[in-house]
Amino acid sequence: MAGEAQRAVFKAGSTTYFNSSLFFPKAARRDVEELYGFVRVADDHVDAVPQDAAGFRAFVARYRAALAGSPAGDPIIDDFVALSKRKGFDPAWTEAFLAAMEADLSKRFYATEEETLGYVYGSAEVIGLFMARILDLPPEADHAARMLGRAMQFINFIRDVDEDARLGRRYLPVAGTGKAADWMPSKAEAEADPEAWAAFVKTQLARYRAWQAEAVKGYRYIPRRARAAIRTAGDMYDWTGRVIESDPLEVFERKVKPAKGRIVRRAILNLLFG
Q: pLDDT 10s per residue in the chain (274 long)? A: 448 889 888 988 888 999 999 999 999 999 999 999 999 999 999 999 999 999 999 999 999 999 999 999 999 999 999 999 999 999 999 999 999 999 999 999 999 999 999 999 999 999 999 999 999 999 999 999 999 999 999 999 999 999 999 999 999 999 999 999 999 999 999 999 999 999 999 999 999 999 999 999 999 999 999 999 999 999 999 999 999 999 999 999 999 999 999 999 999 999 999 7
Range of the domain at 55: 4-172+183-273
pLDDT at 4: 84
pLDDT at 3: 80
The predicted model scores a pTM of 0.95
CA distance 93 to 136: 17
Asked if residue 177 belongs to a domain, the reply is: no
pLDDT at 2: 46
pLDDT at 159: 98
Asked if residue 226 belongs to a domain, the reply is: yes
What three-state secondary structure class fits 92? Answer: helix
CB 218 within 8 A of CB 138: no
CB 190 within 8 A of CB 249: yes
pLDDT at 157: 98
Structural domain total, the chain:
1
Residue type, 239: W
Contacts 24+ apart (CB under 8 A), 95-103: 96/121, 96/122, 96/126, 97/39, 97/42, 97/122, 97/123, 97/126, 97/127, 98/42, 98/60, 98/63, 98/122, 101/42, 101/43, 101/45, 101/46, 101/56, 102/46, 102/56, 102/60
Residue 8 maps to which CATH number? 1.10.600.10
Asked if residue 215 belongs to a domain, the reply is: yes
pLDDT at 1: 40
Asked if residue 246 belongs to a domain, the reply is: yes
Asked if residue 178 belongs to a domain, the reply is: no
